[in-house]
Amino acid sequence: MINLIKQAKKGDKNSLIELLNRFKPLIKKYSNELKYEEAETDLIISFITIIKTFKIKVIDHEGNGVSIKSWTHLVEHYKI
């Protein structure tokens, strides 16, 4: 996933689409909780902002990147 994030940060649309597809169930879950018509769109915009501003740090000694839990916390933090 770390490579997808790096590529998306560089402007690769296919990587961004892949990340959105991977997190679509979580985005849908939160949009249902928010209960307003444009919630999913707002969360997608927030998710893209998170990706573009996310500072990539090596989490383990092999550089295997970001855990799903970390992303979940970020999405939850930025939900509108």
Expressed as residue numbers, the domain containing 53 is 2-78
Question: Mean of the pLDDT values across residues 30-56?
Answer: 88
Q: What is the spatial distance between Cα 76 and Cα 47, in angstroms, rounded to a whole number?
A: 10
What total number of domains does the chain contain? 1
In CATH, what number is assigned to the domain containing residue 16? 1.10.1740
pLDDT in tens, 48-63: 998 888 776 655 555 5
Look-up: residue for tokens 């985005």?
Answer: 27
Instruction: Report if pTM > 0.75.
Output: no
- Record the tokens describing residue 17, joined without a space: 């689409």
Look-up: residue for tokens 């879950």?
Answer: 29
